[in-house]
Amino acid sequence: REEAIEKHILKMPPALSGIPMVYEPHERLLYVGASSRTQLDLFIDMFYQTTKVEPVQLTPGTLLERLFQTTEASFPVLTIGGRPDSEPMTGRDFLMWLWFYSETTGKLEHPQYGEFDLMIEAPLVFVGEGDAQGAAETTIKKGDCPLRSAEAKASMAVGKKLKKAKLTLTRANQIWSGTFDADQFAFSSFKLPEGESMSDDEIFAERVLNLSIFREAISSYFRKFADLMLGMEFPQFEKEIREWAKQRDAI
């Protein structure tokens, strides 16, 4: 048995795995390439054991505290169809607004990085209040136009909101894309713009810069969303989204 184990170990050397991360000291930010919530929790635990500093994940709650000095509990809830949610689901509200904004305006001007545009694409995952599994979840993957499907319209009509969707952000000829999980406030299958640098150091610096640009753009979209939600014209703004959801053509 020992001989067989030793023989196979020589043929199959152990594989090393890790969780990639980048620390941006000027912004005091960590970018973590975790593939699941379990991996992220493991990274946070190991990072704390190593540095005695516990990272705080960027969430709608932390953004509201930093940008608006308010809490998620006191933030308005967006009602698109059905009954109002009893608890704030700010991430889902933000994703629903991104979808609405992408079809009505899309473009956003950043003072440093210029003009961005965004697009929401399938697969789409709609979820009812308080549920992430089972009958309360509707997934739309295929079809001629999933965003215009009867299933998408029916989901919104009964009060379901987007929990996951593919988000594509563009600036000139640059493209960022990934699947946005509104509850986790994180991206998976994330792709950065194609680089132009040659050396390893230049490629790394370019990728970190593109991560920073993407974060700035998403923060700007979130700021615009929160400004509307917290503004005096919130009732009119909510009415516009409800009309958009109700009157959109279904294929």
Structure tokens at 188: 């998976």
- The confidence score (pLDDT) of residue 201 equals 86
Helices marked H in the chain = 2-11, 37-51, 60-68, 90-104, 150-157, 200-230, 234-247
- The confidence score (pLDDT) of residue 250 equals 63
Task: Cis check for the bond before 123: say yes or no (omega within 30 of 0).
Answer: yes
Spans of the chain, pLDDT less than 50: 132-134
- Classify strands 161-171 and 137-140 as parallel, antiparallel or unpaired: unpaired
- The confidence score (pLDDT) of residue 248 equals 77
Instruction: Say how many C-beta atoms besides its own lie within 10 A of residue 205's C-beta.
Output: 13
85-144: per-residue pLDDT in tens? Answer: 667 889 999 999 999 999 998 899 999 999 999 999 999 999 987 554 445 788 888 766
Q: What is the model's pTM?
A: 0.86
- The confidence score (pLDDT) of residue 149 equals 86
- The confidence score (pLDDT) of residue 133 equals 42
- The confidence score (pLDDT) of residue 12 equals 62
